């Protein structure tokens, strides 16, 4: 594990969010546009749960209504029509986000396709086509896909087509190495959900560098930099600001509005903890992976197995709720 390599600014006139932005690209983990305007992140990520929350707020009703109206005369009906409206809802939120952030937006594929490589590819193509029809370059879009073997294989194909992906629900080094081998653009290791599992399993709390989620991302970051992988590491799913400050220096961190606010309210010095040059000297062995090895290592990791499955179930459930909302409007 790397140690601190660069000190924070001598003066603490900058708040922690401003200091963090000197080391790391800050990404907003929200579907709320006003939050993005307030904290000025580089990129923004969404998922079915965040879109469902936002879609039920009065200020976003127009986006939902527009998606429905635009597709009422599509000639489709039933599940096919609802699916088409859903795609437009996701992309319409993304289009609004891209008016605010200068960088990229992550738009998630249907979690129910997590074990369907061909289905994931088809959905990614549909989402990218909608963005490109709206005049948005694929360079500004990350297609979010669960880090299953099937999802990683879909992302590998998409990468060769110039479609960039964000591999989400990532909890293990095996998942991270498979993503790097597939040359995907970016991964989102879930710090907080790893912490949750270990806290419940071991009936104890974790603070700072001893946090298992922090340790997981640190190992992944060091592995990538040691072996020259270009896949970006974006820590995600934080439970407290301590997890964030321990990962200062990570390529990107996607942070919820509540924690963005806490960072902005603190003037405590922030030290860069992850460093690419230091990582090259990490004592990490290369992990050769094929499908059989990946599946075995994932199976041996109870936390990664349980949290990946749990995340897919929860995102799938929220997609169903959003579909019911759309069906009511249709």
Going by DSSP bridges, is the β-strand pair 141-146/105-108 parallel, antiparallel, or unpaired? parallel
Low-confidence ranges of the chain (pLDDT < 50): 1-9
Query: Under CATH, which architecture does the 16-329 domain have?
Result: Alpha-Beta Barrel (3.20)
pLDDT of residue 49: 82
Q: Please provide the distance, in angstroms rounded to a whole number, between the alpha carbons at the two ends of the chain.
A: 53
**pLDDT tens readout for residues 8-42:** 445 568 999 999 999 999 999 888 888 889 999 99
Cα–Cα distance for residue pair 146/150, rounded to 1 Å: 9
Active site residue ranges: 144
144, containing H or E segment:
strand 141-146
pLDDT at 11 (0 to 100): 56
Q: What span, in angstroms and rounded, lies between the C-alpha atoms of 174 and 330?
A: 43
Per-residue model confidence (pLDDT) at position 33: 87
In order of 219, 263, 273, 276, 277, the CA distances from 227 in angstroms are 12, 32, 19, 11, 12
- 298 close to 175: Cβ distance less than 8 angstroms: yes
CA dist list (Å): 232 to 5, 97, 184, 252, 260: 20, 21, 8, 8, 21
CA atoms within 13 A on the CB side of 312: 19
Domain ranges of the chain: 16-329
């Amino acid at each position: 594990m790397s140690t601190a390599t660069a000190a924070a600014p001598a003066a603490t006139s900058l708040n922690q969010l401003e200091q963090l932005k000197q080391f790391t690209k800050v990404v907003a983990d929200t579907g709320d546009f006003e939050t993005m305007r307030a904290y000025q992140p580089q990129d923004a990520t969404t998922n079915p749960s965040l879109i469902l929350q936002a879609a039920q707020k009065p200020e976003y009703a127009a986006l939902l209504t527009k998606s429905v109206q635009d597709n009422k005369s599509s000639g489709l009906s039933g599940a096919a029509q609802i699916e088409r409206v859903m795609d437009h809802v996701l992309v319409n939120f993304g289009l609004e986000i891209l008016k605010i952030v200068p960088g990229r937006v992550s738009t998630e594929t249907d979690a129910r396709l997590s074990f369907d490589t061909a289905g994931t590819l088809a959905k990614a193509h549909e989402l990218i086509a909608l963005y490109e029809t709206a005049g948005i370059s694929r360079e500004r879009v990350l297609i979010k896909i669960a880090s299953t073997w099937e999802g990683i294989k879909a992302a590998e194909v998409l990468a060769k087509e110039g479609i960039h992906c964000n591999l989400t629900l990532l909890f293990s080094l095996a998942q991270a190495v498979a993503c790097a081998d597939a040359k995907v653009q970016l991964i989102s290791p879930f710090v907080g959900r790893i912490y949750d599992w270990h806290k419940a399993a071991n009936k104890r709390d974790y603070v700072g560098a001893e946090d298992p989620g922090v340790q997981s991302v640190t190992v992944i970051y060091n592995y990538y930099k040691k072996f020259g992988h270009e896949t970006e590491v974006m820590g995600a799913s934080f439970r407290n600001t301590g997890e964030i400050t321990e990962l200062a220096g990570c390529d990107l961190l996607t942070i919820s509005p509540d924690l963005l606010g806490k960072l902005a309210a603190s003037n405590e010095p922030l030290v860069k903890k992850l460093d690419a040059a230091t990582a090259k000297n990490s004592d990490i062995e290369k992990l050769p992976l094929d499908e059989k090895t990946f599946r075995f290592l994932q199976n041996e990791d109870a936390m990664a197995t349980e949290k990946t499955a749990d995340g897919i179930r929860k995102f799938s459930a929220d997609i169903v709720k959003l579909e019911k909302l759309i069906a009511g409007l249709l």
